[in-house]
Amino acid sequence: MSEDGVKICHRCQIELEPTKTDFKYLGHSFFTDILRCPVCGEVYIPEQLVETRMSEVEKMLEDK
Ligand SMILES: [Zn+2]
């Protein structure tokens, strides 16, 4: 585990790169930077990020 946010693909032993990725949730899609391995395409999605984005979408829906 590293403290600086850099993640390594354990399959390829290479640094994951932030990639614009679209999420779909409750019929909404939005883009966010997801760490992805440039070699095998494995993505790392931190639970915290998912929770934050999901609650943003939920809030958006509630405001309507
Ligand atoms: Zn990989």
Specify the pLDDT at position 29: 84
Cα 41 to ligand 1 centroid, rounded to whole Å: 6
Q: Write out pLDDT tens, residues 11-20.
A: 999 999 998 8
Cα 53 to middle of ligand 1, angstroms:
25
Report how far ligand 1's centroid is from the alpha carbon of 58 (Å). Answer: 32
Q: Give Dmax over CA atoms of the chain in angstroms.
A: 45
pLDDT 10s digits, 19-31? 888 878 778 887 8
What confidence category does residue 5 fall into, taking pLDDT thresholds of 50, 70 and 90? low
24 C-alpha to center of ligand 1: Å?
A: 24
Of residues 47 and 14, more confidently modeled: 14
Would you kindly state where each structural domain of the chain is located, as residue ranges?
8-63
User: How much of the chain exceeds pLDDT 70, in percent?
Assistant: 91
Fold topology of 8-63: Ubiquitin-like (UB roll) (3.10.20)
Nearest of 18, 8, 6, 12 to residue 40 by alpha carbon: 12
Contact 24, 49 (CB under 8 A): no
